[in-house]
Amino acid sequence: MRIVFMGAPGSGKGTQAQRLEKQFSIPQISTGDILRKHLADGTPLGLRAKEIMASGGYVDDETMLAIIRERLSQADAARGFILDGFPRTVAQAEGLTKLLAELGTPLDAVVLFDVDHEQLVKRVSGRRTCEFCKKVFNVNFAPASGECIPGRSEHSLVQRPDDREDTFKERLRKYEEDTRKPVSRYYAYTGLMRTVDAEGAIDEVTQRLLDTLKAGGGSAAPAAPAKAAKKKRAPQRRAKPAARKAARRPVRKAAKKPAKKSAKKAAPKRRANRKVTRKAKGRARPARARRKSKR
């Protein structure tokens, strides 16, 4: 199974990707994690990405595509993968489509995690990562539990600098403008797009996600607008997706039917009138003729 997870920072896509990774034995490929690894290792890419990541900006498309090309060529990605945080731009989405076409392994689904923005702020401000085992917890919803790496009985939780409120708000804005709107529009026409309500308990979201993926087997579910922006965006969205045009077709057909009916109704009237006229004419002549003959 080859899946893309799309969602605002903090929408829980990383957590769900970790769950599906176990269930389907396919790797979660998080471009954020790959960049953080470069950062920790002090590679040239890590040093270049450091400021961009800290400010909530995006690393350039060419670099990101090179990272993905390299990662997808590794053996563990042959059975499938979950892309988490990639693509983030239309250029990345197009590059991914081309790359997967070259490999002969197209995507099976693109899942959009839909969460209210206020909920996101809560999630992100509470998010902590164990610096040893890299598991993600949330001090508000899912406190640290379970085993760390061998030799450590407790997790050592740290907050990512880009989870701080001001940076987070910039990331959220950027996600809406540069990722959710354009990239979900790009995928909406492929028929791969599924939207999952990502609010509620982690187990519930996993269940919804599995149901969506199972039910998804080929039918298209157009991307729903993000919860926080539904009202503002409604008029624009209504005009564009092809699905809406299709959805309007039956209405047009239905609108034509009554017109046909009224044409049918009108026809018998005209025929009836003609009959009456003919009958009347037929009677009139002999009647006048009778009167004349009487005089």
Catalytic residue, from 2, 13, 36, 128: name it: 13
248 catalytic residue (yes or no)? no
CA gap 50, 235 in Å, rounded: 39
CB of 212 to ligand AMP, least distance (A): 21
Catalytic residue, from 36, 71, 160, 181: name it: 160
- Binding ligand AMP (rule: CB under 6 A), the pick from 11, 28, 31, 129 is 31
Q: Which residue has the tokens 């990331």?
A: 171
Nearer to ligand AMP, 50 or 241 (CB): 50
CA gap 69, 83 in Å, rounded: 12
CA gap 68, 70 in Å, rounded: 5
Pick left, alpha or beta for residue 80 (phi over 0 → left; psi -120 to 50 → alpha; otherwise beta): left
Nearer to ligand AMP, 123 or 171 (CB): 171
160 catalytic residue (yes or no)? yes
32 binds ligand AMP per the rule CB under 6 A = yes
Q: Interaction with ligand AMP in 159-198: which residues (CB under 6 A)?
A: 162, 171
291 catalytic residue (yes or no)? no
Q: Residue 127 gets which letter from DSSP?
A: E
In one letter, which amino acid is 183? Answer: V
The DSSP bridge pattern shows strands 28-30 and 2-7 to be unpaired
88 catalytic residue (yes or no)? yes
Q: Are 138 and 126 in contact (CB under 8 A)?
A: yes
Select the span of 53-61, 111-119, 141-149, 233-241 touching ligand AMP (CB under 6 A): 53-61
Sign of the four-CA dihedral 136, 142, 143, 145? negative
Q: Residue 73 gets which letter from DSSP?
A: T
CA gap 132, 155 in Å, rounded: 7
Question: Nearest Cα to 33, choosing from 78, 1, 71?
Answer: 71
Total residues at the site for ligand AMP (CB under 6 A)? 18
The DSSP bridge pattern shows strands 28-30 and 81-84 to be parallel
Catalytic residue, from 88, 123, 135, 181: name it: 88
Q: Is 30 helix (H, G, I), strand (E, B) or coil?
A: strand
- Binding ligand AMP (rule: CB under 6 A), the pick from 6, 17, 35, 196 is 35
- Binding ligand AMP (rule: CB under 6 A), the pick from 27, 56, 222, 225 is 56
Start-to-end CA distance of the chain, whole Å, equals 102
13 catalytic residue (yes or no)? yes
CB of 52 to ligand AMP, least distance (A): 5
- Binding ligand AMP (rule: CB under 6 A), the pick from 1, 39, 52, 144 is 52
Q: Interaction with ligand AMP in 69-88: which residues (CB under 6 A)?
A: 85-86, 88
Q: Are 216 and 109 in contact (CB under 8 A)?
A: yes
Nearer to ligand AMP, 9 or 225 (CB): 9
CB of 170 to ligand AMP, least distance (A): 9
- Binding ligand AMP (rule: CB under 6 A), the pick from 15, 17, 20, 58 is 58
57 binds ligand AMP per the rule CB under 6 A = yes
Binding footprint of ligand AMP on the chain (CB under 6 A):
9, 30-32, 35, 52-53, 56-59, 64, 85-86, 88, 92, 162, 171
Query: What residues are annotated to the active site?
Result: 13, 88, 127, 160, 171
